[in-house]
Amino acid sequence: MNTLTASQVHTPTFDIAIIGAGLAGSLCAHLLSQSGQSVCIIDKSRGSGGRASSKRLDGDISCDLGTPYVVAKHPDTLALFAQLMEEHIVAPWKQLSNMGSQAFVGVPKMSAITRHWIQNAKFITSTRIHHLDQISQQGDDQSSWLLRDDKYQPVVIAKKIIVAAPAPQAASILASHDNLAVLLLRANQASASYLSQWAMWLETEQCDLNALIEPKNSLIKRMIKDNYKPMRHNEKVDRWVIQTEPNWTKQNLDSDKEWISQTLLQAFAEITEHRVLKHGEPHRWFLSRFTENKGNKCFVWSPEHNVGLAGDWLCQGDAEGALLSALSLVNHMKDSE
């Protein structure tokens, strides 16, 4: 274990540092800062949301390029969304809900959910955590973690860490410290079970097609009318987000973006017979969906190291699972204090 050097003395210190401001990390930040602990949340992107983030287009218009909604079935997530509804952070998308489950969207965009949850934590953006060091601070008998970025610069010091990144990204962080081999093994085992998808937004004239279309035998898996979601801007166009079929994506993961874009536009036109007025660049989600669901314990906590793991890959492999994973991890941490 290293002792803190003079240059690291000024590194900001928190009770808990969370790596990843997606649904899982942001919910952990919310629950832990509510219990009075100082929390810092770090993300490699410019904003929060991860795979539930939104892309800003013109002015204050944006669209959701990742998960279009969160389907809640579990009583704990339904309670979480009931609270968010009271605070006007989410709204139910009634057309997509059915007897056993409800679909929710962030308002006015998906990233409103994670933004709301991280407001009482220190949020550090555009910073990729790459390395973990265990250190001892003067006058403190418990060791702390020093988190370093990809240039090996110190970012923060914290007593406890939660890694809330997808399994392959979690694995590369955990691999930086010898004592985290058990957690690393868990993340490594999960790393092969991801699908990739391309997503792209486009605009057509307003039309009466359904808000959610899942074409058969197409390279397009799903087409969602983003402006049909509740509490969106009332506009003169329809804005769609199209997501590609995972097998087709696998074969075209490295293809040229211009070719992907033209191929998607052609497929869209064939399905809808509508003219595209405007479109964005295709976005490649390398790790879009986690496919394995073995029903294991839905978080990992190592009490000897004060390091935890949360995320969709530990629970259900979907957006609701990310939330359930965060809820169970934080409950466990609180119970074991």
Ligand X SMILES: Cc1cc2nc3c(=O)[nH]c(=O)nc-3n(C[C@H](O)[C@H](O)[C@H](O)COP(=O)(O)OP(=O)(O)OC[C@H]3O[C@@H](n4cnc5c(N)ncnc54)[C@H](O)[C@@H]3O)c2cc1C
User: In the set 165, 187, 190, 329, which binds ligand X (CB under 6 A)?
Assistant: 165
- Is residue 25 near ligand X by the rule CB under 6 A? yes
Stretch that binds ligand X, among 44-52, 77-85, 181-189, 270-278 (CB under 6 A): 44-52
Q: Do residues 215 and 247 make contact, with C-beta atoms less than 8 angstroms apart? A: no
Instruction: Report how many residues bind ligand X under the rule CB under 6 A.
Output: 37
Asked whether 27 and 323 are in contact (CB, 8 A), the reply is yes
Using the rule CB under 6 A, which residue among 52, 184, 223, 324 binds ligand X? 52
Phi (first) and psi of residue 290, to 5 degrees:
-90, 130
Q: Taking CB under 6 A as the rule, does residue 111 contact ligand X?
A: no
**One of 45, 136, 255, 272 touching ligand X (CB under 6 A):** 45
Give residues 183-242 in contact with ligand X (rule: CB under 6 A). Answer: 197, 199
With CB under 6 A as the contact rule, which of the stretches 61-69, 207-215, 254-262, 328-336 interacts with ligand X? Answer: 61-69
**Among 314, 332, 330, CA closest to 322:** 314
**By CB under 6 A, residue 307 contacts ligand X:** no
User: Is 161 near ligand X (CB under 6 A)?
Assistant: no
Q: Nearer to ligand X by C-beta: 4 or 162?
A: 162
Of 73 and 88, the one with the shorter C-beta distance to ligand X is: 73
Least separation in angstroms between CB 143 and ligand X: 22
Q: Shortest approach of ligand X to residue 179 CB, angstroms?
A: 19
Q: Is 311 in the site for ligand X (CB under 6 A)?
A: yes
Decide if residue 162 touches ligand X (CB under 6 A).
no
Q: Which is nearer to ligand X, 6 or 228 (CB)?
A: 228
- Cβ atoms < 10 Å from Cβ of 33: 21
Q: Choose, by CB under 6 A, the member of 4, 24, 162, 307 that binds ligand X.
A: 24
Q: Which residues would be at the binding site for ligand X (CB under 6 A)?
A: 19-25, 42-45, 50-52, 66-68, 71, 128-129, 164-166, 169, 173, 197, 199, 243, 285, 288-289, 311-312, 318-320, 322
